[in-house]
Amino acid sequence: MVKSKTTQSGNSGNPSVTLFVEGGGDSSALQIECRKGFREFLEKAGFKGKMPRITACGGRAFAYKDYCTAIANGESSVLLVDSEATVAKACQQGIPTTWLPWAHLKQRQGDGWDKPEGGQDTDCHLMVQVMESWFLADREMLIAFFNNGFKEGQLPAISRPIESLPKADVYAALQKATADCKTKVKYGKGEHSFKILAKIDPVKVIALSPWARRFVDELKKKMDAN
């Protein structure tokens, strides 16, 4: 069986909770960037001084397996993966603490994941529909990051909820917006994604992404309880 090549952050505070994140592929250098991007995002979201241990797992299946192993070992753990598709209304009814991300992951073709024994819905979180959806919440940062040649008009209309945008549309929009940039190449996940993640404003992201707000809120509760 192929094992994931995970990297962990050296966090300040008491990293009593492990956050398993999808991202970084098979490259150890990219996994380090992934970990750094999430660390800086979380620091700005209010976790500075009390950070979870961040584990960049590469592929989403590895993130799930690593989370399941940790839960089986009795470790306090959280899973964060892309939803990859629209989350059904039945999985997000009522208040966020009652949402059902595990049901989404069980139903989604290509996943079919079962909630592990001891796992909680409040410890499972979705980037809807993909991490790059978060970037669209901070357009000022995108403009500053890509600088000359960036075409903001190629991005989806601000009036469109970012969680409603299909994954393919998000990627296509970012590539079109950056196709003529003077100082950076056209958007590429390995080239830019975690550098941008480190720079975006979490306040703007959680204002436009209910699932991102749920992730930050529940992770804070988890950290406070450990």
Q: Which residue in 178, 165, 166 sits closest to 208, CA to CA? A: 165
Tens of pLDDT along the chain (226 residues) come to 334 445 555 444 456 999 999 998 888 899 999 999 999 999 999 999 999 999 999 999 999 999 999 999 999 999 999 999 999 999 999 999 999 999 999 999 999 999 999 999 999 999 999 999 999 999 999 999 999 999 999 999 999 999 999 999 999 999 999 999 999 999 988 889 999 999 999 999 999 999 999 999 999 999 998 8
Segments making up each domain of the chain, as ranges? 7-130+195-224, 133-191
Quick check: 179 and 186 in contact, CB under 8 A? yes
pLDDT at 30: 92
pLDDT value, residue 93: 96
pTM score over 0.85? yes
Q: Under CATH, which architecture does the 7-130+195-224 domain have?
A: 3-Layer(aba) Sandwich (3.40)
Shortest CA distance to 23 belongs to which of 12, 43, 13, 9?
A: 9
